[in-house]
Structure 1
Amino acid sequence: MNDLYTVNQLAEELGVTPRTLRFYEDKGLLSPNRQGNNRVYDKRDRARMKLILRGKRLGFSLAEIAEYLDLYKIDGNGIEQLRVLLRRVRERRDVLERQREDLEATVAELADIEDQVAAALAERGAAPVEGQGGPG
């Protein structure tokens, strides 16, 4: 059993809960073998789970992750899988770049409002409330 993992062993190694592993199994992304009533995961399952977690961390949907993993079965040389990954990475990066631009614009607008309100308070001889917001 040196290259096999129980639910708890794999969960602990990957920093997830056993429930997380069962969730991805229910979604069809993992298919561990059984020894009696126990699930046992092999190196392939471990590698798939690492890809799933990385995909989730990068913001990919379960459908996108499943599509990528399914290409392992039909694409012997990996070329189509790499093409799909490249396309998805570019799409995700474009979305994040737009979000960053929107976030930067929002932060700049809030800073402008903050300056206007602080100036209005100063004109009225009132000090801004300390300890709430602001750079720091």
Structure 2
Amino acid sequence: MNRRELLKLTAAGAVAVGTGALGVQVLTVSGSQAAVDTSVTTGERFDETYRGRRIQGAGVPAGRARALAEGGAGAAMPDVVIDGTALHVMVNADGTYTSVANHYQTFRTLREVARAAVDELDGARLVPVRHH
């Protein structure tokens, strides 16, 4: 096998791997969409103590969550509060959530976001995000 044949084989392999990975990602997002929509549609509300911290949350209906994710004006922001301090939560385009405490993870519900933030804080006090 010469160098040119080796390069062709390597390029073909890279294309095959990339195409396969894209297919898996599309199937994963499509498969999780139904679960995300049902939890967000309810306008989730909770008020509980988790690991000694009071967490509270109020969601938004699915249509408003999608409008918010798409940059729509007037869409209500989801509210998550830990011990009286607001946790900055963002709605992703697929209706999942992420927060400043767990910016590289997505969660299906606001309760999951709040609990993950408490886990990440590990006893530390939440400091509010200030936008300038």
Same fold (TM over 0.5): no
The normalised TM-score by structure 2 is 0.33
The normalised TM-score by structure 1 is 0.32
Query: Whose strand proportion is higher, 1 or 2?
Result: 2
Q: Which has more radius of gyration? A: 1
